[in-house]
Amino acid sequence: MTSSALIRIDKWLWAARFYKTRSSAQQAIEGGKVKLNGERTKPAKDLKPGDRLSINIGAYVWAITVLQVSAHRGPATIARTLYEESAESRAKREAEMTRRRDTFEPATARKGRPTKRERRDLERWRDSD
């Protein structure tokens, strides 16, 4: 790990274990899901310690400050030392996790395509309008 060098933001996001692949990190950055110091950025933008990142992953938003840069993907315990999450961000994320855990989502019970019986019931329901 080097703490004074610059590194591409997509490579750092991969090394810090926010994304499984560098290409998925690039897609997230290009899609506007990662903001550097409050502004949209490009995957090749250099990242340095002290930079602030806002990362949207699904329903969760991470607000972090970069502490170290690393081009090598290591274990999760090492990856957590590369950044510091703000207390407000952590509280919001944990509240969202609790809300999602406690709330029943009807679509989660649905697996795959409807059966023949379900399809016929659905067609009857649609035709009754």
Sheet bearing 39-40, strands edge to edge = 39-40, 34-36, 52-57, 60-66, 83-85
Quote the pLDDT of residue 111. 77
Comparing 105 with 21, which gets the higher pLDDT? Answer: 21
**Whether pLDDT at 2 is above 60:** no
CA 95, CA 97: separation in Å to the nearest integer?
Answer: 5
CATH for the 1-89 domain, from 3.40.50.720, 3.10.20.30, 3.40.50.12780, 3.10.290.10: 3.10.290.10
HSE-CB at 119 with a 13 A cutoff on CA atoms is: 5
> pLDDT-derived band of residue 113, with 50, 70 and 90 as boundaries?
confident
Ordered by start, the domain boundaries in the chain are: 1-89
Quote the pLDDT of residue 85. 94
> pLDDT-derived band of residue 58, with 50, 70 and 90 as boundaries?
confident
> pLDDT-derived band of residue 117, with 50, 70 and 90 as boundaries?
very high
Comparing 89 with 101, which gets the higher pLDDT? Answer: 89
